[in-house]
Amino acid sequence: MPYVTTADGAQIFYKDWGQGRPVVLSHGWPLNADSWEAQQLFLARHGYRVVAHDRRGHGRSTQTWHGNEMNTYADDLATLIDTLDLRDVTLVGFSTGGGEVARYVGRHGTGRVAQLVLVSAVPPFMLRTDDNPDGVPVEVFDAIRAGSLADRSQLYRDLADGPFFGNNRPGADVSQGVRDAFWLQGLQSGHRNAYECVAAFSATDFRADLDAVDVPALVIHGDDDQVVPFEVGGRASAARIKNATLKVYPGAPHGITDTHKDQLCADLLEFLGS
């Protein structure tokens, strides 16, 4: 299987499908590159080279003890892009991956980047603080951490059966297979890595990273997202990025890579061709 090696020796697994202008997909917590398989297959079939990696501590990448924070995640992404010598890249980040691609821009610039897409993404800043009063209370993230320590497998079951895909809403029809895939990918992550990643996605301030975006940007978010609330994520990011385009999926939950995969594929393809 293909891997790149980071400066500290971590092995980062990636999938490299198709040929053409490159698209790089960054996944959410606690998932891995397989969570992008619908979009990766679709875009590769439509003439793009689509690369999706497993973040360190997730999927098939090294379960490092250290480096479970956004600066290292972004530097690992830079290692992948530099090693494959990708240029004119469209960076697409889902949820935690949205933070990863935003921090990549903040630390490494847009020299290799042509476009940026944030999908149900955690930027600009999830945690409620004195200067971010509309954010999510820390107690929400403390409960996730407590659930991880108490019964990590059940935590992932509960997330998949409930808010992640909106399966707790009246009339929801999310297949058992989709929910099982979330659980399976979650348990492939390292326990410490996934635990530490909760702080990475919730307590990292990406506002300065978004201010540095100087390429065309698309922000996609469901307005019934119970994991990253629309007002905290998509609306706030689109308002902060210069000349960003905002697409709102009415009634959509957090996990739109599965629940709205056809609509998301079509919107990504349209943006790539714009």
Residues identified as active-site:
95, 225, 254
Contacts of 108 (CB under 8 A, 6+ apart): 74, 75, 78
Q: Which helix (H) or strand (E) holds 266?
A: helix 261-272
Assess contact for 247 and 267: CB atoms under 8 A.
Answer: yes
Assess contact for 22 and 112: CB atoms under 8 A.
Answer: no
Residue 18 DSSP symbol: S
Distance CA 218, CA 202 (A): 22
Distance CA 70, CA 198 (A): 11
Residue 69 DSSP symbol: S
- Counting every residue, how long is the chain? 274
Question: How many other C-beta atoms lie within 10 A of the C-beta of residue 246?
Answer: 16
Token duo for residue 75: 């530097």
Assess contact for 194 and 144: CB atoms under 8 A.
Answer: no
Assess contact for 134 and 128: CB atoms under 8 A.
Answer: yes
Distance CA 24, CA 212 (A): 19
Assess contact for 120 and 222: CB atoms under 8 A.
Answer: yes
Distance CA 178, CA 199 (A): 26
